[in-house]
Amino acid sequence: MITRPLDLASRLRPPPRSFDLVFLVTGGLILFCFAILGSRFVLAPGLGVDFQLPQIAGARADAVRTTHDIAVKEGGLIIAGNGSITLENLGIWLKEEAKTTKEPTLLVLADAKVPLSELAAIAGLAKQAGFRMQVAADEPSVKRNVGR
């Protein structure tokens, strides 16, 4: 061993005989934090695992680069910026955000269950604020019979 000529091994602390209480408490706190931060409510408030985009043919062909985005869930939940916002306050938020960008474009991630009247109201607010609006959608999947 390389430590023998200088007798460094005699100056090292001995290894611990057992796990002490601080180690176990620290490990428990780390696991608790991972459990809390792994929750779908902390990472994406309001957007559950059942969030489904509508399917529209040609959705990828009409896609444009956007500068801002909001998520709209059934029941009037709108997530914009740092948290949830009401439809009434969305117009104010859009006007403030339009001042920060030369050509603002809004991407609306709307659940497939959101009523069209709510999307029309959001489109009107976006138009008044000077935004061009893009609705997120998936391409419909084509099922092909693969076989003989």
pLDDT of residue 141: 73
What is the overall mean pLDDT for the chain? 79
**pLDDT-based confidence at 65, cuts 50/70/90?**
confident
| Cα 139 to Cα 60: distance, rounded to the nearest angstrom | 7
One-letter amino acid of 113: K
Structural domains of the chain ordered from first start: 68-135 (3.30.420.270)
* φ, ψ for residue 129, nearest 5 deg: -80, -10
Q: Which residue has the higher pLDDT, 113 or 37?
A: 113
| Cα 107 to Cα 67: distance, rounded to the nearest angstrom | 8
Q: Which two tokens stand for residue 19?
A: 């796990």
pLDDT of residue 128: 92
pLDDT at 138 over 80: no
| Cα 145 to Cα 148: distance, rounded to the nearest angstrom | 9
